[in-house]
Structures are given as structure tokens and as C-alpha cells.
């Protein structure tokens, strides 16, 4: 069941396990990984420090991002602000000999955590996610190893990423899960197939990654022909020639809805995600300080529920064109499916 749209957002904090954070955090992946050539170290540092100045407290990284480079970046830049932030990272998927490998074995999780602590320059990770479910390892075993990290004082709270409601419940029975990080936006509605409700029932925060639809709902949508060879969107059906023009047309309608009431399109998109429930937190990523400020400004905006409902009617799992991943990647992911195939 889909949560009913509410009105706007505010600076009231939202809870992730033992932590209270603003409803908008920062996804750090694109500073090192997945979206083509990363920014210079100096530009990435400026962005991270600007985020601290803008009141961001939740910073999200992972062992996979840049094959360790992103954790090193975040650790180096934010070491002096450690007491002011909630530091989140992930295990269970990393770079091995230049390849992305899913590995949820307990011994791998323990080793990855120690490596992350060193790169992040901290003695404890606030929120540690299982990045992907390893289908060769029961989730209970992976989460059991992560629970040992909590007992050892290396991790404060646990999370899961890209898993179903069934897997969430299995993991939560082993150790309380503080956060479930799944893709959630106007064009990626998978959480509405079960995890949005399950998270609320279990007291788990739903942390929405890619809330701006992989850049479609930003001020300048990506040009698929201009994406570099290392940009993961080149392999996503929604950005392919067969589907992207139709998705751009939906974006145009949403832009007008936002512009008519003095909002930017990213602000409308973020407000919609945050209206899904008080347990929802969004972690948009950006390389632009001005876009960062634009995103954070949504915390001071009240958006009428009917406007959010209108946005949701324009772009949803029935109107979006194309699947969110190709079939090979979808086979790796445990989340419920929705949206058009192709």
C-alpha cells in the first residue's frame, strides 16, 4: 500500500536508529564512482565541507565506491567534523582485482569493516549497511557477523541496502535494523511493493538513494549521448534511445508543475520522496555546491499535498518507460520489482 501524500517537509529531524538527522543527507558515491570522471580532490573536498556548513549530518559512502577511494576521501575531509556527523558506509560489495564482487561471507564482512575504519579515520562507524544480499550466503549469517561488529564497538547501528521486505524481516529478527537503503523516487517505486510499509512497522528508517532519478529530475537532465564510458547510466534502459525521450517528456510536465508554484524541479522531487512518511530520509548526491544548497532548501519549504499527488500521477511505476536496471543487474538485486520492463 502506498503512503498517502502529506504536505511538504520541515527541518524537524528524522530518526535512524539512535541518531536524529535532517531529512536530507548526502550520498557521496558520485564524488568517486559510477558517474563518469570524478571531480578533482579539491572540488570534492569543497563539496563535502559545504555540506557540513549547510547542516548536512548524514554522509553516506561504501567500500565499493571508487574501490575504497570514497571512504578515504570522506575520512580525510570530515575527520575534523567527526563528532558533528553520522557516518554511514557499506560492506558486502567491493572491488576485487578491478571487478565489482558481491561477498556477504562473515569473514569478508569483518575484514571489510576493519579496512573501512582505517580509511574513514575513525574507531567506529555509525551506520553500517550490507550493500547487497549475497545469494550464496543466508542473510542471517551476514547480519550475524555485522552484529558482532556492534558488540565489538566497531559499529553503532546496522542497515541493509537493495533488499525486499522479506529479507528485511529475516535480518531484523537476528539484530535490529536501523535503516533500509533502497532506490526511491518518483520513477522508482519499488519500496511501495512492501519495504515502505515493512520499514515503518519495524521502526526502520527508509533511506532513499537516487531520489532525483539518476539526474533526470535535476536542473539539467543528462544527455545519454554525452555520458562517459564509465557512467553506469549508459547501461540503464531508462536512459536508452528507446525510452529516454518519453521520460524527458514526463520531466517537462513535472518541471512546469514545480515552476508554477515557485519550486525547482529537484525540490519538488525531494519533497515528494520525503512526504512518503516520517521514517523516510533522502540522500541525493551532487558535485555542485549550488545544487547542494538547492536540495537542502527543501527543508524550509511547505509543499501542498495535492501538488505532490499531482507529481506522483505524472511520473510513477505505470508511466515510466524502461526498467531501472538491465536484466543482469536486476538478477543481483533482492528488491521487489515494479515499473515497465525493457
Residues with a known catalytic role: 65
CA distance 199 to 171: 12
Q: β-strands 93-96, 99-102: how paired? A: antiparallel
Q: Give the C-alpha separation, 100 to 94, whole Å.
A: 6
Rounded Cα gap, residues 168 and 227, in angstroms: 35
How far, rounded to the nearest angstrom, does the alpha carbon of residue 12 sit from its chain's CA centroid? 20
Using CA atoms, how far apart are residues 188 and 44, in angstroms rounded to an integer?
Answer: 27
Half-sphere exposure of 322 (CA within 13 A, CB side): 19
Give the DSSP letter string of 4-73: PP-----S--EEETTEEE-SB-EE-GGGTSSBSSPPPHHHHHHHHHHHHHTT--EEE--STGGGGHHHHH
Please name which of 179, 63, 71 lies closest in space to residue 127, comparing C-alpha atoms: 179
Amino acid at each position: 500500500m502506498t503512503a498517502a501524500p502529506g504536505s511538504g517537509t520541515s527541518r524537524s529531524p528524522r530518526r535512524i536508529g539512535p541518531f536524529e538527522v535532517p531529512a536530507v543527507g548526502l550520498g557521496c558515491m558520485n564524488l568517486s564512482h559510477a558517474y563518469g570522471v570524478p571531480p578533482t580532490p579539491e572540488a570534492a573536498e569543497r563539496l563535502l565541507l559545504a555540506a557540513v556548513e549547510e547542516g548536512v549530518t548524514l554522509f553516506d559512502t561504501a567500500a565499493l565506491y571508487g574501490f575504497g577511494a570514497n571512504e578515504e576521501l570522506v575520512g580525510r575531509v570530515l575527520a575534523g567534523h567527526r563528532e558533528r556527523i553520522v557516518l554511514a558506509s557499506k560492506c558486502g560489495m567491493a572491488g576485487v582485482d578491478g571487478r565489482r564482487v558481491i561477498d556477504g561471507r562473515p569473514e569478508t564482512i569483518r575484514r571489510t569493516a576493519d579496512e573501512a575504519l582505517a580509511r574513514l579515520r575513525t574507531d567506529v562507524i555509525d551506520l553500517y549497511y550490507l550493500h547487497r544480499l549475497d545469494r550464496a550466503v543466508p542473510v542471517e549469517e551476514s547480519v550475524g557477523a555485522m552484529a558482532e561488529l556492534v558488540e565489538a564497538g566497531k559499529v553503532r547501528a546496522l542497515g541493509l541496502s537493495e533488499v525486499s521486505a522479506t529479507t528485511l524481516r529475516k535480518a531484523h529478527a537476528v539484530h535490529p535494523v536501523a535503516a533500509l537503503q533502497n532506490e526511491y523516487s518518483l520513477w522508482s517505486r519499488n519500496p511501495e511493493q512492501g519495504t515502505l510499509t515493512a520499514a515503518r512497522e519495524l521502526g526502520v528508517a527508509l533511506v532513499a538513494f537516487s531520489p532525483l532519478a539518476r539526474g533526470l529530475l535535476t536542473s539539467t537532465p543528462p544527455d545519454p549521448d554525452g555520458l562517459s564510458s564509465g557512467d553506469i547510466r549508459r547501461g540503464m534502459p531508462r536512459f536508452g534511445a528507446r525510452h529516454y525521450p518519453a521520460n524527458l517528456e514526463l520531466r517537462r510536465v513535472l518541471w512546469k508543475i514545480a515552476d508554477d508554484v515557485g519550486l525547482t524541479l529537484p525540490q519538488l522531487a525531494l519533497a515528494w520522496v520525503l512526504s512518503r512518511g516520517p521514517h523516510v530520509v533522502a540522500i541525493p548526491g551532487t558535485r555542485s555546491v549550488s545544487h547542494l544548497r538547492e536540495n537542502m532548501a527543501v527543508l524550509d519549504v511547505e509543499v501542498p499535498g495535492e501538488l505532490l499527488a499531482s507529481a506522483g500521477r505524472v511520473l510513477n511505476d505505470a508511466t515510466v518507460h524502461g526498467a531501472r536496471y538491465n536484466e543482469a543487474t536486476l538478477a543481483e538485486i533482492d528488491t521487489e520489482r515494479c515499473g515497465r520492463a525493457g
